Amino acid sequence: MSLNRLSSSVVPPHRAVMLGAGGFLSPEIRRVLEADGVPVLVVGSRDVDLTKAEAGEQLHDALSPDDSLVMVAGLTPDKGRDVATLMRNLRMGESVCAAIARRPPAHLVYISSDAVYDARSEVTLNEGSTCEPTDLYALMHIAREKMLAATCRASGTAFTVVRPCAIYGPGDTHNSYGPNRFMRSASKEGKIALFGHGEERRHHVHVTDVARIVRLCLFHRSEGVINAITGKAIAFRELADMVVAAVGRPVAIECLPRTTAITHRQFDVTALTKAFPSYSSIPLPHGIARSIAVLADT
């Protein structure tokens, strides 16, 4: 299901309640919303531990019927890929469902992942592509999407799923293979390590762009699924060359033995362009240059 705008005009949320204070996406969403004058209440694990049995009731007490809820809370793969991590993430989803069922907000935006699509697929992906999770992290997102969708349908809450591709930018906490790791390694160690010759092609989206897409979904009370992506996939070798150019000094590029087969990942941006015609993503060379400038100042 693609995205449907329930409001053709721009209507800022009465208040945004953000679930998840860690990582680097939550602060950026908050910054973008507050720049537009939207009050934001951030609920972190220190406020409400969504893995606990009492979390649903605690969150229920914090919600109002005219709130827009943004769920970023979750344990990412760097925190674990095992069954225990899966179950903790599912308990978080269960707590949010319990709160929504008792006190439905006006809107829920759930930040999922492009990991839900079949990682082995070579076809161009879009919002209607088959979801075939190949690990427990992807399975978690699919399960939480379905849990939240069912609860929102029953409660009359507008529901949006945003599925970002690999996110990069200042403040990254994951250091995953791609722009974030390449920028850190080039800046601090003077080298970039590629798997094989960096042949795989991927999309990489700036953290500010994901926050802007979330803002658009909230301001138009959108329902459905939207991929937070860019218009073009590039090879990791091209990406490494962009980083070297932005660093502005010699950087060694090392090729490590490949341990997995080469796969590519390409997305169709039609749904995003149709939903928000005025939106355009930050060009990757510009985003990398901006990110490296921030790294240099820290």
pLDDT per position as a tens digit, 195-223: 999 999 999 999 999 999 999 999 999 99
User: Given a cut of 90, is residue 13 above it in pLDDT?
Assistant: yes
- The pLDDT score that the predictor gives to residue 150 is 98
- The pLDDT score that the predictor gives to residue 294 is 84
**Interatomic CA distance for residues 223 and 109, integer angstroms:** 9
∠ CA(142), CA(143), CA(144), 5° rounding?
A: 95
**Interatomic CA distance for residues 16 and 33, integer angstroms:** 8
- Domains of the chain in sequence order: 4-166+205-228 (3.40.50.720), 174-202+232-265+283-297 (3.90.25.10)
Q: What is the mean pLDDT of residues 153-171?
A: 94
> Burial, 51: exposed, middle or buried (Cβ in 10 Å; 0-12, 13-18, 19+)?
middle
Name the token pair of 200: 């795989």
Label residue 264 by pLDDT band (50, 70, 90).
confident
Cα–Cα separations (whole angstroms), residue 255 to 57, 191, 193, 198: 52, 11, 6, 8
Label residue 3 by pLDDT band (50, 70, 90).
confident
Q: Would you give the distance in Å from CA 232 to the centre of its chain?
A: 18
Instruction: Point out the least confidently predicted range of 105-109, 237-241, 261-265, 268-272.
Output: 261-265
Q: Which residue(s) pair with 164 in the sheet?
A: 228
- The pLDDT score that the predictor gives to residue 298 is 61
Q: With a threshold of 0.75, does the pTM exceed it?
A: yes
Q: What is the mean pLDDT of residues 93-105?
A: 96
Percent share of the chain, pLDDT over 70 = 96
Q: Please say whether the dihedral angle defined by the alpha carbons of residues 282, 285, 289 and 295, taken in this order, is positive or negative.
A: positive
- The pLDDT score that the predictor gives to residue 1 is 55
Q: What is the mean pLDDT of residues 114-142?
A: 88
**Interatomic CA distance for residues 109 and 253, integer angstroms:** 39
- The pLDDT score that the predictor gives to residue 152 is 97
Give Cβ neighbours of residue 73 (< 8 Å, ≥ 6 apart). Answer: 19, 20, 45, 50, 92
Output phi, psi for 165, to 5 deg.
-80, -165
Convert the pLDDT of each residue in 239-248 to its tens digit.
999 999 999 8
Convert the pLDDT of each residue in 17-59 to its tens digit.
999 988 889 999 999 999 999 999 999 999 999 999 999 999 9
- The pLDDT score that the predictor gives to residue 23 is 82
- Average pLDDT for the chain: 92
- The pLDDT score that the predictor gives to residue 263 is 84
